[in-house]
Structure 1
Amino acid sequence: MNKQEFINAVNKFDTHTDAETRIAQYFMQHYAVLPFAKIDELCKQIGVGKATLGRFLQRLGFSGFIDFKKEVTEDLTQTLTIPIERYEHQTNNDNPDDIHGLLISHYREVKDNVEKTFDALSEQDFERAIDIMCQPRGKLYVMGSASSEALANYFFLLARYLRKEVIFLKGDISTLPHQLVDVTKEDTLFAISYHRYSSVTVKLVRWFHECGGQIITLTDQPVNPFVPYSDVQFMVESEGKGYFNNRAAGFALIEALIKGLSLQQEKDNRFQRIEGLFEEFSIFKS
């Protein structure tokens, strides 16, 4: 069942309860990532019970949520999220490419994503994330694959100024075990992953959870494979009209996290030592 078939089936209902309306609206808004959903978290997000969701899906002809998820195919979850598909979509669009007004259009896109993200963020979650990242015991691991790797590396470089034992995990599956051999329950993982979720990052988050470590995730969909394992999860908007999604809101949140980390004590010596190393190796030209 694709999204349009789902909409058509719901529209054939003679009546809708308030709960069914909420379910249908939520499904239509997040249809592409429903294959990653866990039923408990999904019901929590919508504000309905599992029995209510089950009855709704039975009205659609499914035995339950697992049966429904089987019908939401992998092709559907990737609709217009792969750059080549975006390219083909825009190539077949009647509107020709036009650079006029592109700069202001992109600015508005960035502004809209950042505003939506920060309006929805929880101050309590943000403060908790900072507390976890500032724990004096344990290491802080950082991971991001594909486009998320740039955000993870940016966070890593600045966080190294602010605390000891920040470790940047490479997404190479053949060397990842060597990087994780010393993980303990006192460690923290900061994982960044956008839809389409990297299978390596998903496995890493799950494994880190099994080790008892604390997990902070940054992603762009409320329904995702990290929900059951995250101690704190941040949702950032990433809508983009070009071939690629927009990562500006993710960068903005990372900079806020760095500012939060900078409030901790005992960073002066690290700054001085890093700057001394820059001079020792003639990194920058004055």
Structure 2
Amino acid sequence: MKDNLDLKTYKQLAEQLKPFTESETNLHNYIVTHFEELTYYGIIDLAQKAKISKATIGRYLNKLGFTGYAAFKRALKKDPGLNTIVSPIDASKASKSKATTLPIDTKDEVQRYVGNVSKLIEQFSHELNVRELERLAALIADKNKTIYVVGPASSRALAIHFSTLLKYSRAEVVLLPLDRGELPKALLGVKQQDVLVAFSYYRFNPVVIDITRFFNSKQAHVTVITNTQSNPYGKYSNMQYVLPSDVDSIFHSRTIGFLFIELLLFLVQKQTEGDDNFEELEGLFKFFGTFSSIDF
């Protein structure tokens, strides 16, 4: 049994067990695809997601050399490549420790940063699953569904931006509060047909985890937009978008998060064109004098 299990080591162990049964093939494929999320899974979660029995998981892990699922998870947690989320304060300390007394060339630093953001855009474009995004746009455009949106901390800005602009294309859009006293009232009447879009960058908020778990219990659709493969949302989500964010800075960039939102809104708007809220909203803005006139 391996005390420290990374993906490469797992694949080496699994290779020795081939040929797999059909159930083992399903389990193996799921483990490989979701390896970085598995530290957040219980055995029931894994069985449900891989669509196999707990007994099959137990037998398979025994063949790999583990005494059970608990031993398998302990080995996963010892992999230094998993769950290594660096907080801003730690990133700041690391940056200071690398600092030199040489003067900073601001122009070079700006160009380096912008270049790093450009690389994120290229990576996003290359990795994007367009068909999956098209399916998500169709779900969100379906006016028989209520769309719930949530985002904690800095991800709140992403959630507000998305929910605000989505209302131009459709009604029944709910931006969920994170106050545990107010949240239950906002969740009254959630149905299986509804959709939750959860934004969560960097560190994970326990309220958002509970919200995704609640929607999963209702068998509603859950899409998570995050920036790390290793996260606690995977076992509750139907779709997950892991967006690139590392720009060699103390703070991870949300640029791709906003690009993702605006691309998704663009696709939703295409599907709701001719049946949107632009005229009605404009009338409401004029009625309430929401925006200043350009005529003074």
TM-score range, shorter chain: 0.7 to 0.9
Correspondence list, 1:129-140, <5 A: 129-140=136-147
Which residue among 83, 96, 113 is the counterpart of 1:91?
Answer: 96
- CA distance in 2 between partners of 1:241 and 1:165 (Å): 39
State how far apart, in whole Å, the 2-side matches of 1:215 and 1:247 are: 21
Please state if 1:183 is matched with 2:187. no
Offset from partner CA, 1:216-260 (integer Å, 9 cap, x none)? 111122332222222222121011322211111111111010001
- Taking the aligned partners of 2:168 and 2:90, their CA distance within structure 1 comes to 40
Matched, 1:253 2:260: yes
Superposition TM-score, scaled by structure 2 size: 0.74
**Unmatched runs of 5 consecutive residues or more in structure 2:** 17-27, 51-55
- Structure 1 unpaired stretches of 5+: none
Is this contact kept in 2: 1:57–1:63, CA < 8 A? no
Note the C-alpha offset of 1:283. 2.3
Q: Runs in 1 of length 4+ with deviation above 6 angstroms? A: 49-57
Name the structure 2 match of 1:228: 235
Separation in structure 2 between the aligned mates of residue 240 and residue 85 of structure 1, nearest angstrom: 16
Change in 2 beyond 3 A, CA 1:53/1:171: same
Query: Does the 8 A contact of 1:117 with 1:235 survive in 2?
Result: no
Q: Give the whole-Å Cα distance in 2 for the aligned partners of 1:17 and 1:175.
A: 49
The 1:95/1:71 distance shift into structure 2, 3 A limit, reads same
CA contact under 8 A between 2:150 and 2:199: conserved in structure 1? yes
Distance 1:100 1:237 in 2: 24
Query: Among the aligned pairs, what percent are the same residue?
Result: 26
Pairs aligned (count): 261
State the secondary structure of the residue aligned to 1:243: coil
Contact 2:85 2:202 in 1 (8 A): no
Q: CA deviation at 1:156?
A: 0.6
SS in structure 2 at match of 1:264: helix
Q: Does 1:277 align with 2:291?
A: no
2:120 and 2:244 in contact (8 A); partners too: yes
Checking the alignment, whether the CA contact within 8 Å between 1:57 and 1:68 is kept in structure 2 is no
- Alpha-carbon spacing, 1:153–1:267, altered in 2? closer, same or farther (3 Å): farther
| Residue 83 (structure 1) shift | 1.0
RMSD: 3.6
SS in 1 for 2:271: coil
Quote the offset at 1:157 in angstroms: 0.8
**Cα distance in 1, alignment partners of residues 192 and 161 from structure 2:** 25
**Counterpart Cα distance in 1 of 2:239 and 2:249:** 30
CA contact (8 A) 2:124 2:243 kept: yes
- Structure 2 distance, partners of 1:172, 1:210, is 20
Residues in 2 aligned to 1:148 and 1:276: alpha-carbon distance in whole angstroms? 31
Q: In the TM superposition, what whole-angstrom CA distance separates every residue of 1:158-208 from its partner, at most 9, and x where no partner exists?
A: 100001101111222221111111211121111111231211111101110
- TM-score normalized by the length of structure 1: 0.77
- Give the match for residue 77 of structure 1: 83
Would you say 1:196 and 2:203 are equivalent positions? yes
2:124 counterpart of 1:120: no
